[in-house]
Structure 1
Amino acid sequence: MLFDTHVHLNIEQFDQDREEVLKRAQEAGVAYMVIVGFDHETIPKAIELAEQNDHMYAAVGWHPVDAIDMTDKELQWLEELASHPKVVALGEMGLDYHWDKSPKDIQKEVFRQQIHLAKKVNLPIIIHNREATEDIIAILQEENASQVGGVMHCYNDSVDYVDTCLDMNFYISLGGPVTFKNATLPKEVAKYVPNDRLMVETDCPFLAPHPNRGKRNEPAYVKLVAEKVAEIRETDVDTIAQMTTANAKRFFRIE
């Protein structure tokens, strides 16, 4: 039984065959998913899908790339949605310095606003980080994000930052990059993270694991991530599946 902690089944890449994708996930042993909404279009769809499926849940947040588009109206909307019984986290939120649509100062302010909201509604947070590790950690510490805790989604950074994340009450989630042949950082992290803080994800349709790299990712492929993590940690995939599912259910407060 696997838990894919970060999927985007709510976007157009799955409009033509979403039911078939869900069937393949079930056949691969994926029992739980969190569908992440990050803007006006994807947030309602995430909640809709979660409402239609017993073991699917939703996270709602504002993506840093689009931070410039978020106003007080959107923040109020997120607060209202946070009380929905299928919403289990706020995010993804964070900083993205790869794209230049939203200035860094605006990204930081929107990030802080969402952390404040998470503490207000008492939900954990999902962090998006692209080329912004130092600033993200600084903001999380300054805003006392440890009060709600969170997950470093698709962690692809140095193992040197892991302890800092753990000290802030954060989990580490690994995705497709841990399977890439030349990716040394996520492999080091996969070996280092404590048993009770590790989760797995696909981030589908992005970052498909080997041997499907470059193709559309889907939840069934989280099994490939779990198999690679099991290999790195010198255990079996059933152990990893059981461990990461228990961690995810605890993190998202799912019975």
Structure 2
Amino acid sequence: MIIDVHAHYDDEAFLNDLEDVMARLKEENIIAISSSSSIESSKENIEIAKKYDNIYITVGIHPHEAKDAPKDFEDGLFELAKFEKNVAIGEIGLDYHYDFSPRDVQKEVFIRQIEVAKKLNLPIVVHSREAHKDTLDILQEHAIGKIPILVHCYSGSVEMSRILRKQGIYISVGGVVTFQNAKKLIEVVKEYPLELLMLETDSPYLTPHPYRGKRNDSTYLKYVITKIAEIKGVSEDEVIEKTTQNAMDVFGIK
């Protein structure tokens, strides 16, 4: 079994053929966690998870959507998070690349969602783009040592990854590691222990080489697995075994 810990199957890119995609995942013994970006997205993912037994979800508000979060969003998030196949609060965090939401609002919504996760004893799935210092500061104050943390689609420096590693924070790696310009990420993966690594696609985005530019889905994880095995000098079976166990341990998937 392979677990894709971060995809977006509520995305409109899957509007016309989601059932076919889900069938392919099942054929290849792949479980996927469909991550949410808003309250509405969370509701859509719940409906998808009800329909497909190999789909789990996270509920949460992405930093892009933070500016539109209801003032009392915690109440709604609490209720959504109680769905039996919800495994985390996410994706949540900071994005200073686009700044679609003001940075102070991003921070506030991030912290408030961490507090929801702590009350429910759930892991968090963190989005951090060009905001690594502020992300780490918030995690150190509010989350580290209290709940499991996964930083998805890691894009920080090697130095930052060493700090995360010492704190026992998980990172997930997707198609970017197969890109020709992925030297920094390759160095991160080389150093990061398999015991703290997970696999993701961020579908429908970030399709691995040689299919870069096409719509991504969880069946493309095989190319990520091959690359990680090559970087770390281990077998593909070991990559699958360790990353799957990590995902099962953190997200409670059986």
The bucket for the TM-score relative to the shorter chain is over 0.9
Counterpart CA distance in 2 for 1:105 and 1:73 is: 17
Q: Distance in 1 between matches of 2:191 and 2:29?
A: 25
Aligned-residue offset at 1:53: 2.1
CA contact (8 A) 2:63 2:93 kept: yes
1:179-203: per-residue Cα shift (whole Å, max 9, x none)? 0012111111211111211101000
Q: Give the distance between the partners of 2:34 and 2:72, measured in 1 at CA.
A: 22
2:20 is aligned to 20
Q: C-alpha distance in 1, partners of 2:179/2:67?
A: 33
Partner residue, 1:232: 231
Amino acid at match of 2:9: L
Q: Give how far 1:30 is off.
A: 4.2
CA distance in 2 between partners of 1:101 and 1:135 (Å): 17
Instruction: Say what the alpha-carbon RMSD is for the aligned residues.
Output: 1.4
- Identity over aligned pairs, percent: 44
Structure-2 separation of matches of 1:176 and 1:212: 10
Q: TM-score, normalised by structure 2?
A: 0.95
Tell me the equivalent position of 2:8.
8
Q: Which residue pairs with 1:36 in the alignment?
A: 35
| DSSP-derived class of the 1:59 partner | strand
Could you say which residue in structure 2 is the equivalent of 1:160?
Answer: 159
Alignment partner, residue 195 of structure 1: 194
Unaligned runs of 5+ in 1: none
Q: Residue 39 of structure 2 contacts residue 60 of structure 2 at CA under 8 Å; is this kept in 1?
A: no
Q: Which residue of 1 aligns with 2:83?
A: 84
* Separation in 2, partners of 1:110, 1:235: 40
Gaps of at least 5 residues in structure 2 are: none
Shift of residue 45, structure 1, vs aligned partner: 1.6
1:14-46 deviation per Cα after TM superposition (whole angstroms, max 9, x unaligned): 01111221223334x342110111113321121
Q: CA deviation at 1:75?
A: 2.0
- SS in structure 1 opposite 2:145? helix
* TM-fit CA distance, 1:99: 1.4
Question: How many Å apart are 1:145 and its aligned residue?
Answer: 3.5
CA distance in 2, matches of 1:101, 1:199: 28
Letter in 1 for 2:82: S
Matched, 1:99 2:98: yes
**Does the aligned pair in 2 maintain the 1:196–1:243 contact within 8 Å?**
yes
For residues 232 and 26 of structure 1, the distance between their equivalents in structure 2, rounded to whole angstroms, comes to 28
Per-residue CA distance 1:159-195 (angstroms, 9 max, x = gap): 2112322343321100111000121111112111112
Contact 2:43 2:80 in 1 (8 A): no
Deviation larger for 68-77 or 237-246: 68-77
Cα separation, 2, equivalents of 1:225 and 1:149: 23
Work out the number of aligned pairs and report it: 254
SS in 2 for 1:250: helix
Aligned to 1:211, what secondary structure does the other structure show?
coil
Partners in 2 of 1:67 and 1:168 — Cα distance? Answer: 27
1:38-82 deviations in Å (ceiling 9; x for gaps): 113321121111122223111001000111111233221111112
User: What's the secondary structure of 2:170's corresponding residue?
Assistant: strand
CA distance in 2, matches of 1:152, 1:64: 14
Q: Tell me whether 1:210 sits opposite 2:209 in the alignment.
A: yes
Whether the 8 Å CA contact 1:36–1:60 is kept in 2: the answer is yes
